[in-house]
């Protein structure tokens, strides 16, 4: 999971992209980068947060009226410096590219590009494969005009498997945006006061950039805006869209809108539906406390539905990153105490109902429950507003190793014992789908129904590669 931002039609393009990247920093804390174009390409990227990678001095060098940028959270490779985006090829025309997602046939693409096209890929970043497939197709057509660009993207759709939303700058031509045929990863488009076009993984980035959200880029849609502001689009609607449901559960900011639905109101609805599961569990909590930040709207909806007091019982250190997307188990476990501190007066002697967005490995939840127990809770219940995660995600979330998924290999009573709670309550899959709106969504990590063709051999290969990248194989 990563975040991407792009704009065309504003002389301060890179500064606006920087603002957008700060807004979606939660989508990736490993690396950041920006590419701009005036009469040539200017690229700056590096490891770390947006604010540490960029300075006023290097931003000033990113001149031009069109720019793209990315924040990276690695699910492929070790997240080395050379994997930071944007990536660039100088033939044809010069193309810089960023993406959000995960290419599941990356190994095959790298082999085919070397054998058939003499294109050697030296990074572990899957955007390099997308870029080279696109560049090779565009070079064969030998035209940077929109019909040729659309034909080249169609080649990407036919060749690259997985989830990907992509932004690219094409030399003197313009800015390209497209979303994979299943539309698994989000991408929105907005307009500025002077007619600028802007694109981002989340609508909140458009807000902070001073843009007005127009619509989502549709699944399988390709958009091209030239340097004169002319707009073209083409769409491959052969597959029903399957936006990732985990965007609503965890990744997206609550002030974002995805596929026309408010993430904030969706999470409130999920909390209200979770209240029914709490009633069935027969527990009698004294207080509802969210595990910050994602769970706040759901905890509020749950507390209101049950008529219970909602309290902030855990104070978050804003300078610690999101523990779920930290690279190792040890980092996640250690970060709990760095990140959260309990308010003892809201906890001591009470039966506490904690609300969380999901339980993946169980380590973060275990650490938080330990904090609540030490603060004097009489009993602790944990409610997740998503169902058990029992299948690996191969589309850009670091849940690729099946044995790490606690609900896959343990019963609810075993998970309760491991985490240390008196009762563990899950949202039902039906409740999750209802809360998000019952539309076509990718719920593979909960249901095992993958929107693209995923074989057991492919799952095993992805699992081995992820373990190897973590140094645990």
State how far Cα 196 lies from the chain centre. 25
Q: Output the pLDDT for position 398.
A: 85
184 and 62 within one domain:
yes
pLDDT of 237 above 90: no
427 and 366 within one domain:
yes
Q: What percent of the chain has pLDDT over 70?
A: 95
213 and 181 within one domain:
yes
pLDDT category, 239, cuts 50, 70, 90?
Answer: confident
pLDDT tens digit string along 421-473?
A: 999 999 999 999 999 986 789 999 999 999 998 989 988 888 888 787 766 65
Tokens of 74: 């690695």
192 and 63 within one domain:
yes
Report the domain count for the chain.
2
pLDDT tens digit string along 29-64?
A: 999 999 999 999 999 999 999 999 999 999 999 999
Asked, for residue 166, whether it belongs to a domain, the answer is: yes
pLDDT tens digit string along 256-278?
A: 999 899 999 999 999 999 999 99
Q: Output the pLDDT for position 440.
A: 82
Asked, for residue 248, whether it belongs to a domain, the answer is: no
Cis preceding linkage at 305, omega within 30: no
Whole-Å CA distances, 462 to 53, 62, 178, 441, 451: 30, 36, 25, 22, 17
Asked, for residue 256, whether it belongs to a domain, the answer is: no
SS3 54: coil
Q: Output the pLDDT for position 58.
A: 95
For residue 49, give the CATH number of its domain.
3.60.20.10
Whether residue 2 lies in the annotated active site: yes
pLDDT tens digit string along 340-358?
A: 999 999 999 999 999 999 9
Q: Output the pLDDT for position 78.
A: 61
Q: Output the pLDDT for position 96.
A: 98
pLDDT tens digit string along 122-145?
A: 888 999 999 999 999 999 998 889
The answer to whether 67 and 6 have CB atoms below 8 angstroms apart is: yes
77 and 122 within one domain:
yes
Give CA–CA dist 327/211, Å, rounded.
Answer: 33
The answer to whether 315 and 340 have CB atoms below 8 angstroms apart is: yes
293 and 221 within one domain:
no
Candidates 2, 244, 442, 445; catalytic one = 2
Give CA–CA dist 100/33, Å, rounded.
Answer: 13
Q: Output the pLDDT for position 426.
A: 98
For residue 409, give the CATH number of its domain.
3.40.50.2020
234 and 89 within one domain:
yes
pLDDT of 328 above 80: no
Q: Output the pLDDT for position 466.
A: 79
218 and 366 within one domain:
no
* Residue 45: how many other CB atoms lie within 10 Å: 22
Asked, for residue 176, whether it belongs to a domain, the answer is: yes
pLDDT of 322 above 60: no
Give CA–CA dist 107/91, Å, rounded.
Answer: 23
- Report the alpha-carbon angle 205-211-213, nearest 5: 80
235 and 268 within one domain:
no
295 and 392 within one domain:
yes
26 and 126 within one domain:
yes
Domain span at 86: 3-240
Question: Which residue's entry shows tokens 């406390």?
Answer: 289
Q: Output the pLDDT for position 76.
A: 63
Average pLDDT over residues 193-199: 96
């Amino acid at each position: 999971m990563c975040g991407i931002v792009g704009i065309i039609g504003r002389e301060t393009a890179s500064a606006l992209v920087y603002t957008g990247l700060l807004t979606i920093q939660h989508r990736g804390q490993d690396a950041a980068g920006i590419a701009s174009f005036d009469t040539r390409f200017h690229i700056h990227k590096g490891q770390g947060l947006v604010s540490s990678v960029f300075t006023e001095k290097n931003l000033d060098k990113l001149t031009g009226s069109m720019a793209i940028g990315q924040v990276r959270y690695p699910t492929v490779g070790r997240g080395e410096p050379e994997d930071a985006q944007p990536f660039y090829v100088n033939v044809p025309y010069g193309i810089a590219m960023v993406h959000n997602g995960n290419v599941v046939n990356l190994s095959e693409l790298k082999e085919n590009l070397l054998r058939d096209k003499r294109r050697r890929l030296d990074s572990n970043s899957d955007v390099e494969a997308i870029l080279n497939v696109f560049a090779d197709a565009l070079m064969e057509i030998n035209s940077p005009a929109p019909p040729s660009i659309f034909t080249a993207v169609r080649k990407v759709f036919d060749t690259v498997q997985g989830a990907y939303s992509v932004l690219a700058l094409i030399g003197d031509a313009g800015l390209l945006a497209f979303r994979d045929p299943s539309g698994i990863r989000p991408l929105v488009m907005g307009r500025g006061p002077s007619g600028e076009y802007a694109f981002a993984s989340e609508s909140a980035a458009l807000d902070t950039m001073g843009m007005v959200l127009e619509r989502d880029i549709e699944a399988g849609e390709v958009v091209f805006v030239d340097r004169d502001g002319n707009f073209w689009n083409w769409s491959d609607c052969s597959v029903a869209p399957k936006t990732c449901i985990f965007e609503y559960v965890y990744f997206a900011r609550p002030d974002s809108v995805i596929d026309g639905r408010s993430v904030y109101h969706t999470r409130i609805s999920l909390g209200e539906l979770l209240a029914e599961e709490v009633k069935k569990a027969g527990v009698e909590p004294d207080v509802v406390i969210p595990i910050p930040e994602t769970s706040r709207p759901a905890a509020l909806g749950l507390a209101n539905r049950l008529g219970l007091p909602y309290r902030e019982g855990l104070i978050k250190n804003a300078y610690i990153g999101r523990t779920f997307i930290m690279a190792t188990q040890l980092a996640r476990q250690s970060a709990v105490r760095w990140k959260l501190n309990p308010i003892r007066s809201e906890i001591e002697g009470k039966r506490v109902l904690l609300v969380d967005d999901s339980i993946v490995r169980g380590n973060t939840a275990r650490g938080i429950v330990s904090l609540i127990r030490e603060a004097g809770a009489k009993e602790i219940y944990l409610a997740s507003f998503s169902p058990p995660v029992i299948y690996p995600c191969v589309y850009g979330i670091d849940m690729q190793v099946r044995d790490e998924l606690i609900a896959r290999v343990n019963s609810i009573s075993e998970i309760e014992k491991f985490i240390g709670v008196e009762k563990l309550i899950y949202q039902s899959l039906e409740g999750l789908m209802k809360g998000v709106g019952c539309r076509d969504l990718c719920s593979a990590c909960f249901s095992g129904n993958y929107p693209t063709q995923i074989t057991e051999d492919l799952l095993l290969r992805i699992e081995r590669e992820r373990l190897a990248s973590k140094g645990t194989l």
